[in-house]
Amino acid sequence: MSEVQLPAYETLESDLKAQGLAVTPSELHGLLSGMICGGLAVDGEQWLAPICDYANQGEALTDGAKSVIRAVFNATSAELNQVTQTLFTSTAAELADVEFHVSMLLPAEDAELMLRAESLSEWVTNFISGLGLMGMDKQKLSDDVTEAVSALEEIAQLGIDEDESMDEQAMLFDNVVAYVPECVLVCLVGLSQRGEVDESEAFGLPADDTNDKPTLH
Give the number of other Cβ atoms within 10 Å of residue 141's Cβ. Answer: 18
Compute the mean pLDDT over every residue in the chain, rounded to the nearest whole number: 84
> Closest by alpha carbon to 136, among 85, 70, 193?
193
End-to-end C-alpha distance for the chain, whole angstroms? 34
pLDDT (tens digit, 9 = 90+) per residue, 21-78? Answer: 999 999 999 999 999 999 888 888 888 888 999 889 889 999 999 999 999 999 999 9
Amino acid type, 74: N
φ/ψ bin of 207: left (φ > 0), alpha (ψ from -120 to 50), beta (otherwise): beta
DSSP string, 24-53: -HHHHHHHHHHHHHTT--TTS-TTHHHHHH
Question: Does pLDDT of 3 surpass 90?
Answer: no
- The model's pTM: 0.85
Q: Which domains does the chain have, with CATH numbers?
A: 9-201 (1.20.120.740)
Task: Say whether pLDDT at 177 is over 80.
Answer: yes
Residue-wise pLDDT for 129-138, tens only, equals 999 998 888 8
